[in-house]
Structure 1
Amino acid sequence: MSARPPSLLLVCMGNICRSPLAEGIFRHRAAETGLELELDSAGTHAYHIGHPPDARARRVARERGLSIDTLSARQVVAADFQRFDHILVADRMNLDELNRRFPRHADRAQLLLAFCGISPETEVPDPYYGEYADFESVFELLDRAARGALTRLRKG
């Protein structure tokens, strides 16, 4: 009987920009390295439930050889804290929101970039109100994060 693969939930505010990009990138990098992971993404807010990722997020992913077109936004639920080994959040505001909504699980969620070894204080900026170049920058940051996370998970 084999052990269950590590599981990660990637979280941002609406689950249409940062977290679906992160999910797509993490899936792609894990497949490249042969590391089996359970991945999903969700938002702290219900603004976009059932909607696909932002068109700019889908475009930046496609231009880099991966698709997030089939993903749809959902909101974090209490059961996620039992299902996932790691709840990785894009920024402090959304980390605080999770801790407010799910105080029993406040120790389970952490900043994404801290987990990935990039910086304990740095946040993934929200590109939603920005230009396309902001989505490109976020993609590059999340790609770096995925590589760091996979290195950490391979080491155990």
Structure 2
Amino acid sequence: MKSILFVCLGNICRSPIAEGVARRLIEQEGNGITVDSAGTGSWHIGEAPCRHSIIVARNNGVDISSLRARQVHKNDFQKFDLIVALDQSNYNDLQAMGAKNLVKLGEFGCGGADVPDPYFFDGFEGFDRVFAMIESCVAQLLSERG
């Protein structure tokens, strides 16, 4: 596998965290996999990750502050070897768009669970929980597929 695209809804919280974690782990391993992230929705195009995502990533040694949101495009399905949805809703949307090389991140070490949107938790604790889940699942994904 040479390239991975992580996809959530808006590309401002979960998928940029997954991209940042994957970049850090790939850099540590030196295996040269290309990583990107995108959202199924268009309303955050060009925006930086949300403030809490930047903070939780930085607190865990990952800098995602320079990333900018973009929307997934059908040509991404040929460009990337693996498309990784962060939850079932995004998985379904990507499948409807024609993605074939598609998995759900929670299939890797999280029992198939969705990576929840941290905004559905009260306070910053949700971002800590989501980061920990993403970090664990991305490490497992790279171990199995990298």
TM-score, normalising length: structure 2: 0.93
Match of 1:39, SS state, is strand
Q: CA offset at residue 8 of structure 1?
A: 0.4
Q: CA offset at residue 35 of structure 1?
A: 2.0
Contact 1:6–1:153 (Cα < 8 Å) also in 2: no
Contact 2:87–2:104 (Cα < 8 Å) also in 1: yes
Q: CA offset at residue 148 of structure 1?
A: 0.4
The equivalent of 2:75 in structure 1 is: 79
2:105 counterpart of 1:112: yes
Q: CA offset at residue 86 of structure 1?
A: 0.4
The equivalent of 2:133 in structure 1 is: 141
Matching residue's letter, 2:110: I
Q: CA offset at residue 117 of structure 1?
A: 4.1
Superposed CA offset, 1:111-146 (max 9, x none): 1121x2432x31100012432110001111111012
Contact 2:105–2:138 (Cα < 8 Å) also in 1: no
The equivalent of 2:50 in structure 1 is: 54
The equivalent of 2:27 in structure 1 is: 31
- Gapped runs of 5+ residues in structure 2? none
Instruction: Pick the aligned partner of 1:43 from 36, 39, 63.
Output: 39
Contact 2:11–2:39 (Cα < 8 Å) also in 1: yes
Aligned-residue Cα RMSD (Å) equals: 1.3
Contact 1:44–1:75 (Cα < 8 Å) also in 2: yes
C-alpha separation in 1, matches of 2:103 and 2:49 = 23
Contact 1:17–1:128 (Cα < 8 Å) also in 2: no
Percent identity (aligned): 39
TM-score, normalising length: structure 1: 0.87
The equivalent of 1:153 in structure 2 is: 145
Match of 1:25, SS state, is helix
Aligned length: 145
Matching residue's letter, 1:33: E
- Gapped runs of 5+ residues in structure 1? none
For the pair shown, the structure with the greater C-alpha radius of gyration is: 1
Instruction: Pick the aligned partner of 1:132 from 121, 124, 139.
Output: 124
Contact 2:109–2:136 (Cα < 8 Å) also in 1: no
C-alpha separation in 2, matches of 1:145 and 1:117 = 5
